[in-house]
A and B are shown apart, each in its own frame.
Chain A
Amino acid sequence: MLARKLFAVALATSFLALAPSILLPVSHAYAQTGAEASAINLVEKLGKEAVDLLSNTDVSDTEKRAGFTQIVVQNFNMPLIGRFVLGKHWRKSSKDQQSEFQDLFQQYIITTYQKRIGDYAGENLKIVKARLLNKKEVLVNSQILRPKGPPIKLDWRIRKSKNDRQQIIDLIVENVSMALTHREEFSSVVSKHDGDVEGLLERLRKHVAKASD
């Protein structure tokens, strides 16, 4: 059971590698409201863009990375996620630290999630349904269908930002929230450095530098 979950989490850290194909839902009968329908569209579009980019053999690695960065920045509300992930330490940090953290966090996410692209060929993403959480947020339930073994539950939490654009704010794999996992991880690093955010920034700098070698 836990083994499956660990697999799922690892898979989520490379969620965009769901290539080669995305199963699109045949009808949108369950999406009653506009918000739900557009949230489903967002996930679908994201999947298609990623597949198009990653399955294209003519594109170089640097271009892939640039394209991937663009997809992430467009579809994920990185400032909000970053702020949530830093949690209570956000307010204690200076403006410079905050902006450096946001920058590093984005690089960290992109390197982490891009790493194993292409490793999970043969898995399909199937969108199951969308559900309104509150006025601003929609949860899109989807499944990763695998050639072997039971499907993995993958939920996308989507939130309408100030300019009325919907963006993804969390990925929930088998009910394990990625944002929460990163938050607890980062919080632990800050605590180890006596509550100094600088320690976390240093760790992230090293990690990002090592990963992009």
Chain B
Amino acid sequence: MISLKLKSTLVKGCMAVVLASSLGACATPPGEDSANVTYTEVSDPIEPLNRYFFDVNNAIDAVALKPISHIYRDALPQGVQDSVSNFLHNLSQPIYFLNNIAQGDLDGAGDNMGSFFTNTFLGIGGLFDVAKLNTEKEDLGQTMAVWGIPEGPYLVLPILGPNTTREAIGIVGEYFIDPANLVARNQDVDYFSIYRGAANAIDFRSKSIESLDEIEKNSIDFYATVRSLYRQNRKNMILDGEAEMTPLPDISFEMEDDQPKESNVSLLFEEDDSTSKEATSTAN
């Protein structure tokens, strides 16, 4: 029994390493800014494959995830759904804490710790958000971004959906270091991360049924829209939503001169060097 379990863990580990290293091989396209501040044009060399998995995921979504989420949303009282969200979020606080430490965001880490203990003890195991600190998701992908690792090509994973190479590696890494997973493994809870992943997916999907329908209906290329939204959202999460640092697309050059500066979209504003310097220095 024990050996069987060990074996399965080993197999999983090996698969993860193989996956991570094969991804790592193509993770550094030239010319990307290492500070990860500017929004660069999308790198999507395996677009046909990505589009294929995007369609596969949408098909899975249509027959499984979306109907389940619909039932979940309509059948359960709002209070229960909120508690599920709170519980899942609380379960992730330890890994957010570790990531915030690794990113040097000690205030954020303090909030994570405060939230976790308050909600676990006063909020009955995390079912209620007593702390109300509004902690943001912090994952390994964001940590690697803060460390200056470029995002790499865009990647749509089966089941897991939109990612960049960096985030995909982050997901694999996080599986091994997430304290919640470690505890579950020590307590011999089988398939913990699968259940947790499924719960997270339903929680997410039930909140975005209309929004996603709306975006799909209104876009002429749903794949590209989702890719753009995903990447902009990631960028925003990496910068922890600091509005002052948000890289805005440089619209100015389009009208005035023919040559776009280094990248088409950057922090630079035409005619105003002080803005760009200021913004870059705050961002760094």
**A interface residues, Cβ below 8 angstroms from B:** 1-7, 9-11, 13, 80-81, 83-84, 87-88, 90-91, 108, 112, 115-116, 133-137, 139, 141, 150, 153, 155, 157, 159, 169-170, 172, 174-177, 179-181, 183-189, 192, 200, 203-204, 207
Task: Give me the interface of B with A, judged by CB distance under 8 Å.
Answer: 39, 42, 134, 136-137, 204, 207-208, 210-212, 214-215, 217-221, 223-225, 227-229, 232-233, 235-237, 241, 243, 246, 248-249, 251-252, 254-255, 258, 260, 264-265, 269-272, 275
Chain B min CB distance to A122 (Å):
15
* Contacts A150-B134, A184-B42, A189-B224 known; 16 new A-B pairs at CB < 8 A: A5-B229, A7-B211, A11-B211, A84-B254, A133-B275, A134-B272, A157-B248, A159-B251, A176-B233, A177-B248, A180-B228, A181-B232, A183-B249, A185-B221, A203-B221, A204-B220
By a CB distance below 8 angstroms, the chain A residues around B207 are: 3-4, 7
Query: By the criterion CB–CB under 8 Å, are A188 and B243 in contact?
Result: no
Minimum-distance CB pairs A-B, first 4 = A188-B224, A134-B272, A3-B207, A10-B211
Contacts of A185 in B (CB 8 A): 219-221, 224-225, 228
Contacts of B237 in A (CB 8 A): 1
B180 → chain A, closest Cβ, in Å?
A: 18
Do A6 and B229 contact each other (CB < 8 Å), given the known contacts A134-B271, A155-B243? yes
In angstroms, Cα B227 to Cα A100, docked, is 27
Are A174 and B39 closer than 8 Å at their CB atoms?
no
In the complex, the answer to whether A115 meets B218 with C-beta atoms within 8 Å is yes
Say yes or no: B243 contacts A181, CB within 8 Å: no
**What CA separation (Å) do A116 and B211 show in the bound complex?**
11
How far is A108 from B211 in the complex, measured between Cα atoms in Å? 18
A177 touches B249 (CB 8 A): yes
Q: Which of the residues A80, A134, A137 comes within 8 Å of B254, measured between beta carbons? A: A80
- In the complex the two chains form, is B233's CB within 8 Å of A2's CB? yes
How many angstroms between the C-alpha atoms of A84 and B256 in the bound complex? Answer: 12
Pair A176/B249 contact, Cβ less than 8 Å:
no
B246 CB contact (under 8 Å) in A81, A91, A172 = A172
Q: Are B251 and A179 in contact (CB under 8 A)?
A: yes
A137, chain B: closest CB distance, angstroms: 7
Which of A5, A108, A141, A179 counts the most chain B CB atoms within 10 A? A5
Residues of B within 8 A of A150 (CB): 134
Q: Tally the A-B contacts, defined by beta carbons under 8 Å.
A: 137
Which of A137, A181, A192 lies in contact with B228, CB distance below 8 A? A181
Asked, given contacts A134-B271, A137-B269, whether A1 binds B136 with beta carbons under 8 Å apart, the answer is: yes
Residues of A within 8 A of B212 (CB): 6, 10
* A207, B221: Cα distance in complex, Å: 11
Which residue on chain B has the smallest CB distance to residue A207? Answer: B220
Cα–Cα distance between A204 and B210 once the two chains are bound (Å)? 23
B215 near A9 with CB under 8 A, answer yes
CA A141 to CA B243, docked complex, whole Å = 9
Tell which of B211, B214, B251, B254 has the most Cβ of chain A within 10 Å: B251
Kindly state the separation between the CA atoms of A139 and B136 in the bound complex, as whole angstroms. 25
Whether the Cβ atoms of B233 and A188 lie closer than 8 Å is no
Closest-CB distance, B198 to chain A (whole angstroms)? 16
Contact status of A175 and B246, CB under 8 A, knowing A83-B255, A184-B228, A185-B219: yes
| Smallest Cβ-Cβ distance to A206: which chain B residue | B220
The distance in angstroms between the C-alpha atoms of A97 and B6, with both chains bound, is 64
A-chain residues with CB within 8 Å of residue B227 when the two chains form the complex:
184, 188
Smallest CB–CB gap between B149 and chain A, Å?
21
